Structure 1
Amino acid sequence: MIPNQLKRKAFFRLLCPLLLGFSGSSFADTSAPSSTPSAEWQQVIENAKGQKVYFHAWGGSQEINRYLQWTSRQLKQRYDVQFYHVKVSDIAETASRLVAEKAAGKNSGGSVDMVWINGENFKSMKDNQLLFGPFVEQLPNWQYVDKSLPVDSDFSEPTEGLEAPWGVGQLVFIHDKQQLNNPPQSHQEMLSYAKAFPNRLSYPKPPEFHGTSYLKSLLIELTDNDPSLSQPVNDEDFNLITRPLWDYLDQFHQVAWKQGKQFPSGTAETIQLLDDGQLDLAISFNPNAVFTAQNNGNLAPSTYAYALQHGALSNIHFLAIPWNSAATEGARVAINFLLSPEAQSRKGDLQIWGDPSVLKKSVLTGNAAKTEAFPSVAEPHPSWQAALEREWLRRYGS
């Protein structure tokens, strides 16, 4: 008998080679264009002095938290802006708080000064007029943004200058080449793999962001990216369009890790389970997460990230300012700093965060300009996120 571990290594040996997705391109030109801030921007900097900026952002990554601690120190030293990272597990919590403040007529002195958002949360805040702006094109560092990226649209919703692009996300899977040399290249192959080797695959539990992203990627593949996915959800068609998704998950959960009765809490747990040998695939929305995990000793050097054959679900994530912020100048100074070549190069450093930059590569330094993106698949319309989460919770959430 061949041990299961060796079987898993050989299972897809005859299939397409691993999609590594990263090139060995040389470092970019590190020089950045120089410019003198306008008198208007100098006034923003002056007014920002002494302001406290409460930034609501996901707090589930040590790398991100450390990066924001560095940001806080820089903003204090350079601009006398006090920057506080308010850790949240789901930015929808912040959106609900802002809705409550709007309903109570609290149109100034709000409790939130900056938010890290995209997709459904952006559309909800925009529709409810919860955002300050437009302000993005007035930022001095807007000149460095790579306009070939979809920086003016968020899950098909026009941003209209109400949020500034901060980074690029892509849904990828991570495997250990010593345990699984040729991983599944599609969701259908994952189902076949799970049936052959039960209890080895899983995904984070929706509505956790990575879990919902997994559902969207799965639905895109199973429906051959049905054109309806780019439009607002039609309740009459929802059951018909999503039927292949639920049929797939009914089968997958029977052979998934913990028989689909328990799910990882997020990407960090899938990485831990991969490193512990309990899972054969981890999931991330950062194609460089494998490198930062390796640098931190959380993954073996033999681990690699790859995208599925139909492409990686991709989006831009953004920074926005609530309409009633008590520190709009401080928030704009903070966002402008986070869009600087210095801050973006540090954020893209594989040993620090490794988040792909939204800036032109010519202004980035170090290994922030080293990696290439995977072929991308656009996000569905924002309304699909909430609809999928509700139906998933109804079917499997108990």
Structure 2
Amino acid sequence: MRLMTGIFAAALMAATSSFPAKAAGPELSDWAAVEKAATGQTVYFNAWGGSENINAYLEWVGAEMQSRYGVSVVQVKLEDTASAVAKVIAEKAAGKNDGGSVDLIWINGENFVSMKQQGLLLTPGWASSLPNWAYVDVENQPTILTDFTEPTEGLESPWGGAKMVFFHDSARTEAFAMPDNATALLDWAKKNPGRFSYPAPPDFSGSSFLKQVLSEVIADPSKLAKPVSEETFNADVEPLFAYLDQLHPAAWRSGKTFPQNYSDMKQKLADGELDIIFAFNPSEASAGIKAGELPQTVRSFTFSKGTLGNTHFVAIPYNANAKEGALVTANFLISPEAQLRKQDPTYWGDPTVLAMSKLPEPDRAAFKALDLGAATLAPDKLGPVIAEPHASWMERIEVEWRRRYASGN
């Protein structure tokens, strides 16, 4: 899912500094009343639309919501989450504090931070008041409670996990030769010119790669948990751009152009143009194999000292027209049934946010029986999670990347 670009984020901060406190929502203590009020509502779910399997999963969610609760869910397919945020900003500027066009947003990172700071989200605490919150693994998944260093405070509800993994075609490259960290990846790329690349930011995958490298090469990683310091920014990111200056000449097409997005990288791996690609989902390789998009011989690997990880969420704007319908949809998304289907690579392969120990035995057994696929690493083989940097880092880095490389030189 695309995160907000730095220029847009800056504009948002400037344009919305007078926004009011977060709007109150329905009374969640009477859940039956919430479900009753939701009946007949249409929820406009603004969600990234760049993946056919995710779109198909959301179609299933819509069918289940209609049959179970009489709620219609319409996916508004986005290329960039910032466009949905812009709708809410425009409606607020026009004084439309009720009956908004956005009911539910797939969100995290810069978008969440900005909307929270400007009071554009439904009242705090609604997410942790959902009935199915009782199953959520807040104890072992700290990114559920802190989104890109920002406390979530029940303003958004988790519905999936993410962790960066790399994969290769074992028919062409040996597993033992795969790099174990960013420095080793650079060395590998120099020895195998043209066989690695990444999408240009602000593409989500490309920006994630930059954050991974930055987290490994910055002199003081603890700085990434705090907002960017203008005084030290250039010195802090110098190792990142020194890395990229070495990588680009050895990259696909000598770094003069870049893959469009993850789907483009995946196609290039399948076509033999690239030998190493990456995704922000441990099940992505297996899902690609099942869909016939990747060879059966593709396998995953990761870095032993850690890769980026985060949680993705849904949030409800303060002026949503179908607040009750959005609440019921968010609750269904963290139900054991919806989470089980989502983790199945046949449908999506997105890791669950639920704690197995909190589930009824039949649901635990169903998760245990899932075939995650031969290309999916076991949870204990994924390595440590590197926390996402504070949102301000990517805003600045994307601008600096464009300044240095967007012209192709």
Which blocks of at least 5 consecutive residues in structure 1 are unaligned? 1-37
Residue 44 of structure 2: aligned partner: 54
Task: Give the paired residue count.
Answer: 361
| Residue identity matched to 1:380 | P
Q: Does 1:215 align with 2:205?
A: no
Alpha-carbon distance in structure 2 between the residues aligned to 1:369 and 1:108: 45
> In structure 2, do the counterparts of structure 1 residues 390 and 133 end up closer, same or farther at CA, with 3 Å as the change threshold?
same
Query: Alignment partner for residue 305 of structure 1, among 300, 304, 309?
Result: 300
Residue 4 of structure 2: aligned partner: none
Query: For 1:310-364, what per-residue CA distance to the aligned partner results, in whole angstroms no more than 9, with x for missing partners?
Result: 2110011111000000000000000101110000000001211110000012434
Query: For 1:182-216, what per-residue CA distance to the aligned partner results, in whole angstroms no more than 9, with x for missing partners?
Result: 21112112221222221110011100111111000
Alpha-carbon distance in structure 1 between the residues aligned to 2:233 and 2:34: 47
Alpha-carbon distance in structure 1 between the residues aligned to 2:90 and 2:402: 25
Alpha-carbon distance in structure 1 between the residues aligned to 2:252 and 2:304: 23
Q: Does 1:253 align with 2:243?
A: no
Alpha-carbon distance in structure 2 between the residues aligned to 1:61 and 1:345: 19
Alpha-carbon distance in structure 1 between the residues aligned to 2:111 and 2:334: 21
Query: Which aligned pairs between 1:118-133 and structure 2 lie closer than 5 A?
Result: 118-133=108-123
Superposed displacement of residue 101, structure 1: 1.6
Q: Does 1:147 align with 2:138?
A: yes
Query: Alignment partner for residue 381 of structure 1, among 390, 394, 404?
Result: 390
Residue 117 of structure 1: aligned partner: 107
Residue 168 of structure 2: aligned partner: 175
Q: CA RMSD in A?
A: 1.5
Question: Which secondary structure state, in structure 2, belongs to the residue aligned with residue 105 of structure 1?
Answer: coil
Residue 40 of structure 1: aligned partner: 30
Query: Alignment partner for residue 228 of structure 2, among 226, 233, 242?
Result: 233
Alpha-carbon distance in structure 1 between the residues aligned to 2:284 and 2:194: 24
Q: Does 1:100 align with 2:95?
A: no
TM-score by length of 2: 0.86
| Residue identity matched to 1:98 | V
Superposed displacement of residue 368, structure 1: 5.0
Residue 395 of structure 1: aligned partner: 404
Query: For 1:26-85, what per-residue CA distance to the aligned partner results, in whole angstroms no more than 9, with x for missing partners?
Result: xxxxxxxxxxxx871000000001111011111111110110010010001111101011
Contact 1:146-1:360 within 8 A present in 2 as well? yes
Residue 23 of structure 1: aligned partner: none
Superposed displacement of residue 224, structure 1: 5.3
Identity of aligned residues (%): 47
Question: Which secondary structure state, in structure 2, belongs to the residue aligned with residue 264 of structure 1?
Answer: coil
Q: Which has the higher contact order (CA 8 A, sep 6+)?
A: 1
| Residue identity matched to 1:277 | G
Query: For 1:137-189, what per-residue CA distance to the aligned partner results, in whole angstroms no more than 9, with x for missing partners?
Result: 22110001112211111111011110011111001111111211121112112
Residue 17 of structure 1: aligned partner: none
Question: Which secondary structure state, in structure 1, belongs to the residue aligned with residue 398 of structure 2?
Answer: helix
Superposed displacement of residue 377, structure 1: 0.8
Contact 1:270-1:282 within 8 A present in 2 as well? yes
Alpha-carbon distance in structure 1 between the residues aligned to 2:248 and 2:204: 19
Residue 258 of structure 2: aligned partner: 263
Alpha-carbon distance in structure 2 between the residues aligned to 1:194 and 1:119: 30
Contact 1:155-1:382 within 8 A present in 2 as well? yes
Question: Which secondary structure state, in structure 2, belongs to the residue aligned with residue 84 of structure 1?
Answer: strand
Superposed displacement of residue 374, structure 1: 3.2
Contact 2:39-2:325 within 8 A present in 1 as well? yes
Residue 277 of structure 2: aligned partner: 282
Residue 6 of structure 2: aligned partner: none
Query: Alignment partner for residue 60 of structure 2, among 70, 73, 80?
Result: 70
Alpha-carbon distance in structure 2 between the residues aligned to 1:316 and 1:290: 19
